[in-house]
Amino acid sequence: MALGIPELRLRIADHYQQWYGEKIGPERVAVTVGSSMAFAISFLAAFDIGDKIAIPNPGYPAYRNLMLGMGLEPVTLNAGPSEGWVPRLKDMEKWDNLPDGLMIASPHNPTGVIISDNELKDICEWCDKNGVRLISDEIYHGLSYKGRCETALKYSDNVIVINSLSKYFSMTGWRIGWMILPEQLLNTAEKLAQNLYISAPTPNQIAAIEAFDCSEELDQNIRRYKENRNILLSGLPAEFLGNAAPCDGAFYIYADISALSVDSINFAKKLLDETGVATTPGVDFDPINGHRYLRLSFAGATQTMNEAVKRINEFVLTYKRDAA
For residue 79, the model assigns a pLDDT of: 93
Which residues neighbour 191 within 8 Å (Cβ) at sequence distance 6 or greater? Answer: none
Note whether 189 and 229 are same-domain residues: no
132 with 102: CB under 8 angstroms?
Answer: yes
> Do the domain assignments include residue 178?
yes
Measured at the CA of 275, the angle between CA 270 and CA 280, to 5 degrees, comes to 55
Question: What angle is formed at CA 212 by the lines to CA 210 and CA 213, rounded to 5 degrees?
Answer: 75
Phi/psi-derived region of residue 22, left when phi > 0, alpha when psi is between -120 and 50, beta in every other case: beta
Q: Which of 211, 232, 258 is the last residue of a domain?
A: 211
Which distant-in-sequence residues (6+ apart) come within 8 Å of 124 by Cβ?
134, 152, 155, 156, 159
pLDDT on residue 203:
97
Max intra-chain CA distance, the chain? 64
Spatial CB neighbours of 192, under 8 Å, sequence gap ≥ 6: 41, 44, 45
Same domain for 220 and 282? yes
pLDDT at 322: 87
Q: Looking at 211, 242, 272, which one is the last position of a domain?
A: 211
CATH number of the domain at 254, please: 3.90.1150.10
Q: Do 199 and 68 fall into the same domain?
A: yes
Which tens digits make up the pLDDT trace of 275-303?
999 999 999 999 999 999 999 999 999 99
Tell me the pLDDT tens digit for each residue of 229-287. Answer: 999 999 999 999 999 999 999 999 999 999 999 999 999 999 999 999 999 999 999 99
Residues 150 and 273 in one domain: no
Taking the C-alpha atoms of residue 284 and residue 93, their distance in angstroms, rounded to an integer, is 27
**Residue 145 belongs to domain spanning:** 6-211
Residues of the chain with pLDDT > 90: what percent?
96
8 Å CB contact between 291 and 248: no
Alpha helices in 170-214 (DSSP H): 186-196, 202-211
Q: Are residues 56 and 144 in the same domain?
A: yes
Residue 147: pLDDT band (50, 70, 90) is confident
138 and 63 in a common domain: yes
* Domains held by the chain: number: 2
Which one of 149, 180, 211 terminates a domain?
A: 211
- Given a cut of 80, whether residue 77 has pLDDT beyond it is yes
Q: Are residues 270 and 196 in the same domain?
A: no
pLDDT of residue 71: 98
Helix axes 302-323, 264-275, angle to 10 degrees: 110
Q: pLDDT grade, residue 1 (50/70/90)?
A: confident
- Report the CATH number that the domain containing residue 145 is assigned in CATH: 3.40.640.10
pLDDT tens-digit series, residues 78-89 = 999 989 999 999
Please report whether residue 270 resides in a domain: yes
Residue 212 scores a pLDDT above 80: yes
As a whole number, the mean pLDDT across the chain is 97
Q: Are residues 221 and 200 in the same domain?
A: no
Task: Determine contact, residues 180/161, Cβ cutoff 8 Å.
Answer: yes
pLDDT band at 191 (very low <50, low <70, confident <90, very high): very high
Cα R_g (the chain), whole angstroms: 20
